[in-house]
Structure 1
Amino acid sequence: MSESSPPMSSHRPYLLRALYEWIADNDMTPHLLVDATHAGVKVPSHAVDDGRVVLNVAQRAVSHLEMGNDAIMFDARFGGVSQSVVVPVSAVLAIYARETGQGMALPEDVGGSAPGGRPGADPEGADASAPPTLSAVPGDAERREDDGDGDDDGPGAPGPRRTGHLRVVK
């Protein structure tokens, strides 16, 4: 990245809109998993469980849905009562199809709104304006080197087969 290039806007709202459209185009029900403790989240408190809330954002379940770059806003019924919902894009943890669980857990936002609710906020106190640093990953030759201690469980040894780390939240 060039020193003079301006920082890019957050990719999160674009991912959310694209995944929402993909789920809806496949006649599935899009759900958002939201961190309800995040600053700016406006949802009924009785819908919150363990600091999180799952919101059905299907076209048939909400009205006046607006998926902006900063927030997702809509009206929905909770216990038969229509209420306005506001969810900052940075508070969305995942979007998925209720029927299949397919979707995406959203990555931390680099350069956009951070989990603290402030643009560029970094919970570890690092300089948010600094670009992320990259480092080399050892190649096969470096991983296969024997350190001479007789331990065959080194970094080059094949580990257990990993499976997906996402789980279906209903």
Structure 2
Amino acid sequence: MISTKPYLIRAIQEWCVDQGFTPYLQVVVDSRTRVPREYVRDGQIVLNVGVDATHQLLMGNEEITFQARFNGTAFPIIVPVSAVAAIYARENGQGMAFEVAGEASGQSRSLDEESQPSELEPEPGAGTASSTDAPAPESSGAARPKLTRIK
């Protein structure tokens, strides 16, 4: 039986885009994951998978592939669906967290306890494939929304 995980990832990404939100994909990086390693923090990376930040985005049942710009350089991204830890809207934190193979079972964590996104701002005029690394959250004094992992 095929997992529901890729369908849920696609649904939340589509919902974010429809609402005008920026969909972020939190990924546990392993040997099968192709991302720029210099942006990996604590074994994870947060990627912007919005339509303005990606080129040739394909969200399949086994892997998510696209091209993105990191500091102005195009980079092909390959993320196995099994490595996706969460997908959520940058603006309000709404989304869904997933179990990632290799994680200790019975452990519940929130995104705040996991690695924070790298601090990379999209380049102005970068076209449709802007930086996919998540910018640092704005410090407006308001509490940051939490996404709790449900098992």
Could you tell me the TM-score, scaled by structure 2's length? 0.68
1:50 deviates by 0.5
Match of 1:9 in 2: 2
Pairwise CA RMSD of aligned residues? 2.3
Match of 1:51 in 2: 43
Match of 2:65 in 1: 73
Matched, 1:102 2:46: no
| 1: CA distance, partners of 2:82 / 2:13 | 16
1:84 match: secondary structure: strand
| 2: CA distance, partners of 1:50 / 1:68 | 26
Partner deviation per Cα, 1:81-113 (whole Å, 9 max, x = no partner): 0000000000000000001111110145xxxxx
Aligned runs of 1:1-170 on 2, under 5 Å? Answer: 8-37=1-30, 39-107=31-99, 115=101, 166-167=110-111, 170=137
Moved over 6 A (4+): none
Q: Number of residues paired by the alignment?
A: 112
Q: Say which structure, 1 or 2, has more relative contact order (CA 8 Å, 6+ apart).
A: 2
**Could you tell me which amino acid in structure 2 is paired with residue 10 of structure 1?**
S
1:32 match: secondary structure: strand
| 2: CA distance, partners of 1:167 / 1:51 | 14
Could you tell me the TM-score, scaled by structure 1's length? 0.60
Which has the greater radius of gyration?
1
| 2: CA distance, partners of 1:104 / 1:93 | 9
1:40 deviates by 1.1
Gaps of 5+ in 1: 1-7, 109-114, 117-122, 125-164
**Could you tell me which amino acid in structure 1 is paired with residue 7 of structure 2?**
Y
Percent identity between the two aligned chains: 47
**Could you tell me which amino acid in structure 2 is paired with residue 74 of structure 1?**
F
